[in-house]
Chain A
């Protein structure tokens, strides 16, 4: 009998020997034309513009204007490509002006950089200083309103948004107010506020208009409107590839609906981005459990993706950093089946961010970890803010 013989364990050992992973050895390529770096096509013009501005900045190091122009463009590039390196470049450029008597504009950009790093307290501190000296500073006011909303303080957000009205940019003020109202469950009021903004032709103010389209899509999603899909597609078309975070928001909408194939179609062109990685892996996992169970190529892609996520996490751990909170929660909740870890991360995340998505993740993690009591902070927050979102309601209804 096979079990009796020591050959079974021995052969297992042999098999394992044969399949050890090869070490990553350096090599000298034969082909001099071998591509070693290739920037995406849409990044090229941005990088060139950035290089130009950088050259101007270096030519006139004492000129704050040149530095601000470069830093702003770098931050924009960082958002557009979801690439943290650009934020680092902006930070380096601002450093000479960040000592002693710091200009308001520098503070505002530093607050923006801090916000991007989720250092919200630092950002609020900088913005408070700016608004103390210049209460009419629209950019500072707007940035602070966004932080308040992200951290789940809609009343404070509303105060800052209302302070914007009467300023030069009424469209932005309206969108800001609508966004703050949504966070308090005043969805219909928010919709009414957005109407005139959306009625404006696109050419008048593209960034504002894009923000309004995005907020309107989020509103449709919160109300469970039938035209949510259309509204997201409108916003994405207007963004024209400049806003990966909008893509992620639409992907979340599709995931909520279980439209896994659509998620893949949407995010595959951006699969190098961390946010896309996790969402794609979740979509692929569902597809492989369902109609694509026999698709060996897809299975291989899924495993490659999981390996890549794991290696990114490992490297971040080596650097002493933590992965993006929401991605990490989803990773543990949906990809590696560790609801306890997901819940711990979700609760940590809840101390920093309180948008509907964060609430959803905490609710999902709590139920998966069989800890319905852990949902209390979210239910309290919903009661306190009055937020009305069908996704949250659905989760609370099905669980009780």
Chain B
């Protein structure tokens, strides 16, 4: 489910056509419930309105905007007579605003703005719909309902004229806990994320320098450089995730997934032939942006209200940072202890980096060119 203004798979492209699309008849009802206030809009097929109200009086098959304007009151009356909203068994009032047009992917629809009030701000919500069912049994009413705890969809049909939605008070603490957990798991089960982390962390204590190895002088500076990298990554991750979840940024999945794979390769190869050592945190920041954008759909899909979304994002990123620090705290001291060991340097750092680079390459090819190996 996507945020309110990016309708769930409804319209992917704007067509300004007005020719009939010869597709089954649907209307699109978007309702937003905010405490006692109702708001939204109802997009209605013009052919459907013509069928119900005989708008095309001269029968020439052409309707113009002025034809709709002259019958505006009838259109609003018809629409309002075919819909009812009840809350806790009490009727909510609904009013129609001025009629407008909207260009959807398969043509121009009439768009009726809706406002209303319910006597109660709690209680189950019941919607009744009956547009066009007496004339066209194939007609469907596609509903998108937005409330505090997210967006829900439904379909009205001749044999399903009533849809009920139970109200649940949004539990901020539970949401926080849930998304913190999501953030932790995001790192824990995101193999590519973990590999990237490993790629960045492994050389924190011992890295290639010229023809030999340089070592971190003490545990504190090792941990400090690790913390810088991890924090830079998380901050960037948070920024990108926030922008993308709010729908302000939308990158194609194929691009972000391929870029994530590319960053993994880079991190791994950087261990073998160090190009970036001292400013690794800047690289981590850039990569964090990419990783964040790549996972944005996870939260964006949940369609939460702005406040809940912010809390969720905060919790999610704290979970991410927490998990990363936990991993770093576990791995880096151990690595520090064995930093002089050849098997650590050649085996784990270099061998591991080669493995990571190889895996990253496989993913890059798969994601960029839609291959499938094995």
Q: Which residues of A contact B (CB under 8 A)?
A: 1, 3-10, 12-13, 16-17, 20-29, 31-41, 43-44, 47-48, 51, 81-85, 87-89, 91-92, 272-274, 304, 307-308, 310-312, 314-321, 337
Contact = CB atoms under 8 A, between A and B. Distances in A.
Nearest to A89: B136
A1 B9 CA distance: 40
B102 A24 contact: yes
Contacts of A43: 61
Contact of A36 (B41, B46, B106): B46
Contacts of B23: 84, 274, 312, 315
A13 B293 contact: yes
B47 interface: yes
A20 B248 contact: yes
Given A6-B286, A312-B106, A91 B137 contact: yes
Interface in B24-50: 24-26, 41, 43, 46-47, 50
Given A83-B22, A318-B155, A38 B100 contact: no
Given A9-B286, A13-B240, A32-B66, A319 B142 contact: yes
B56 A37 contact: yes
A41 B266 CA distance: 62
Contacts of A28: 98-101
Contacts of B209: none
B63 interface: yes
B65 A32 contact: yes
B41 A16 contact: no
Contact of A26 (B101, B240, B290): B101
Nearest to B288: A9
A355 B111 CA distance: 43
A1 B273 CA distance: 15
B21 interface: yes
A313 B291 CA distance: 30
B62 A37 contact: yes
A4 B12 contact: no
A315 B22 contact: no
Interface string B302-341: 0000000000000000000000000000000000000000
Contacts of B6: 23
Contacts of B102: 24-27
Nearest to B113: A26
Interface string B99-118: 11111111010110100000
B14 interface: yes
B276 interface: yes
Given A17-B249, A272-B21, A308-B105, A6 B62 contact: no
Given A1-B275, A315-B23, A307 B105 contact: yes
A76 to B, nearest CB: 16
A315 B7 CA distance: 11
B249 A16 contact: yes
A133 to B, nearest CB: 27
Interface string B244-261: 000111110000000100
B171 interface: no
Nearest to A95: B137
A43 B59 CA distance: 11
A34 B248 contact: no
Contacts of A9: 236, 259, 286-287, 289-290
Closest 5 pairs (CB-CB, A-B)? A39-B61, A6-B286, A314-B9, A32-B66, A307-B13
A32 B69 contact: yes
Nearest to A83: B22
Nearest to A28: B100
B153 interface: yes
17 contacts: A6-B282, A10-B286, A13-B289, A20-B247, A24-B7, A24-B102, A27-B100, A28-B101, A32-B69, A37-B50, A39-B20, A40-B20, A272-B22, A304-B13, A304-B15, A307-B12, A308-B13
B66 A317 contact: no
B289 A16 contact: no
Residue among A10, A32, A83, A311 having the largest count of chain B Cβ atoms under 10 Å: A311
Nearest to A314: B9
B106 A311 contact: yes
B18 A36 contact: yes
Contact of A5 (B100, B282, B290): B282
Contacts of A41: 61
A250 B74 CA distance: 45
A36 B136 CA distance: 21
Given A3-B266, A88-B138, A8 B9 contact: no
Contacts of A312: 23, 106
B63 A37 contact: yes
B232 to A, nearest CB: 9
A29 B67 CA distance: 13
Nearest to A23: B5
A105 B5 CA distance: 49
Given A9-B287, A34-B65, A311 B21 contact: no
A39 B137 contact: no
A88 B66 CA distance: 29
Residue among B18, B65, B68, B108 having the largest count of chain A Cβ atoms under 10 Å: B65
A33 B142 contact: no
Nearest to B103: A24
Nearest to A270: B22
Residue among A88, A314, A318 having the largest count of chain B Cβ atoms under 10 Å: A318
Given A38-B62, A44-B61, A47-B59, 15 more contacts: A1-B275, A4-B282, A10-B286, A27-B102, A32-B65, A35-B62, A36-B65, A37-B18, A41-B61, A88-B137, A92-B136, A314-B10, A315-B9, A319-B26, A319-B155
Nearest to A32: B66
Contacts of B287: 9
Residue among B7, B22, B287 having the largest count of chain A Cβ atoms under 10 Å: B22
B302 to A, nearest CB: 18
A21 to B, nearest CB: 8
A31 B66 CA distance: 8
Contact of A274 (B22, B66, B98): B22
A247 to B, nearest CB: 14
Contacts of A92: 134-137
B248 A33 contact: no
A16 B63 contact: no
A21 B111 CA distance: 20
A92 B111 CA distance: 27
Contacts of B218: none
Contacts of B69: 32
A34 B64 contact: yes
B164 to A, nearest CB: 18
A28 B68 CA distance: 11
A40 B61 CA distance: 8
Contacts of B20: 37-40, 83, 272
Contacts of A31: 65
A55 B15 CA distance: 35
